[in-house]
Structure 1
Amino acid sequence: MLTSILQAVGLFLATNIDDIIILSLFYARGAGQPGTTRKLLAGQYLGFGGILLAAVLVSLGARSFLPEETLPYFGLIPLALGLYAAWKVWRSDDDDDEGKIADKRISVLTVAAVTFANGGDNIGVYVPVFATVSTSAIVAYCVVFLALVAVLVMAAKFVATRRPIAEVLERWEHILFPLVLIGLGVVILVEGGAFGL
């Protein structure tokens, strides 16, 4: 059991370390808004729960549930969200502070969608692992993964609230947030060969 736990920790870190950047940008976007951490935790758990459910079902033989060739198309989710965020930045009025705050509200569903879309590589890595281990090991992996989701969100909060990083994020978040989402979407689409790319 200890071996499964240690392997789960390593696997989680290898497949989710990039989420710290995305979550840090979400923190910057929600700076000063009440409930930002709660919304990020809820969204991250919802999205990651979907990743785990898909990986477990596929590893148990339910290939028709989520055919592997569909995974790259999840890149459309962050691409669309990033384009929408860029459009909001482009059309925003510099004098409308209330509108700026409303445009930066964090949504649990947006966090969940980005988490799930960014999890195509997670599913691709977890499926072969889950297919080759016992049911108790799968349960151990899932429990460890779910515990580490909270650690990941807190690590992102730590990164986003360090003064030099927070100043950069505060100043450039409105540009970085859409760019990172658009880039993430394009990378997922291209690396997965979506649309024959």
Structure 2
Amino acid sequence: MNLSIIGSAAGLFAVTNIDDILILALFFAQGAGHRHTTRNALIGQYLGFAGILAVAVAAAFGASFLPDQAPPYLGLLPLALGIKAAVQARRHHNDADPTETTNDAPGIFAVAAVTFANGGDNIGVYVPVFATAGAGGMTVYVIDFLLLVAVWVAAGRFFATRPIIAQALSRWGHVLLPVVLIGIGLLILIEGGAFGL
């Protein structure tokens, strides 16, 4: 039984977090060459995902930290971060070589905010699964998910450091990161019906 739960947890995590690999790769590209990029991405991903799990576990037990209307407005977090990244990219628009712009390592809280905001749909999937799995099964899911976060960060770093992908990300990452973040923010806002959309 535990093996089947572990397999189900791994599958559920992969399906609900596939888009995080692209986001992590973009964060790694943004912080290429900085000492703290991996640390910040790892800690930020764990903080954001811990927030997702806390809300999902509480909701599975019948409690809720967020009002029903709140999750769509989480889209404002990646939207704001995307706009900020777009402004920074625009500032460096006339630089001779876009790979030489002075990008900083992604901030821990920026990674955490994007992870949490992007996980609003995950919460909707996790709550019924956790509620039916019982306390023991839920514990297995949570432990499995937390182990897989490290695998996801490693995969994002792996993709960002493959020569052909790294070259594309170094050339276009300053454009892709704001586009992806703004797109995620708008998608969350629109799908959730925020602001009457």
Q: TM-score range by the shorter chain?
A: over 0.9
Q: What is the rounded CA distance, in whole Å, between the counterparts of 1:21 and 1:132 in structure 2?
A: 31
Q: How far apart are 1:67 and its partner, in Å? A: 2.6
Give the letter for the 1:183 counterpart: G
Q: Does the Cα contact within 8 Å between 1:58 and 1:66 map onto a contact in 2?
A: no
- 1:15-164 superposed matches below 5 A: 15-63=16-64, 65-92=65-92, 94=95, 100-101=101-102, 103-164=103-164
Residue of structure 2 equivalent to 1:194: 194
Q: Does the Cα contact within 8 Å between 1:72 and 1:188 map onto a contact in 2?
A: yes
The one-character-per-residue Cα deviations of 1:129-148 (angstroms, maximum 9, x if unpaired) are 11112101111000000000
Which structure 1 segments of 5+ residues have no match?
Answer: none
Relative to structure 1, is the Cα distance of residues 89 and 196 closer, same or farther in structure 2, using a 3 angstrom cutoff? Answer: same
**1:132 match: secondary structure:** helix
Q: Does the Cα contact within 8 Å between 1:78 and 1:181 map onto a contact in 2?
A: yes
Give the letter for the 2:111 counterpart: V
Q: What is the rounded CA distance, in whole Å, between the counterparts of 2:95 and 2:105 in structure 1?
A: 17
The one-character-per-residue Cα deviations of 1:80-126 (angstroms, maximum 9, x if unpaired) are 000011112223362799x942x433111110000000000111100
Residue of structure 1 equivalent to 2:14: 13
Give the letter for the 1:123 counterpart: I
The one-character-per-residue Cα deviations of 1:147-171 (angstroms, maximum 9, x if unpaired) are 0000001111111111111100000
Give the letter for the 1:115 counterpart: T
- TM-score under structure 1 normalisation? 0.93
Q: What is the rounded CA distance, in whole Å, between the counterparts of 2:67 and 2:8 in structure 1?
A: 26
Which structure 2 segments of 5+ residues have no match?
Answer: none
Relative to structure 1, is the Cα distance of residues 22 and 37 closer, same or farther in structure 2, using a 3 angstrom cutoff? Answer: same
Relative to structure 1, is the Cα distance of residues 169 and 96 closer, same or farther in structure 2, using a 3 angstrom cutoff? Answer: closer
Give the letter for the 2:69 counterpart: E
Q: How far apart are 1:188 and its partner, in Å? A: 0.8
Q: What is the rounded CA distance, in whole Å, between the counterparts of 1:35 and 1:95 in structure 2?
A: 26
Report how many aligned residue pairs link the two structures: 194
**1:133 match: secondary structure:** helix
Q: CA RMSD in A?
A: 1.7
Percent identity among equivalent residues? 57
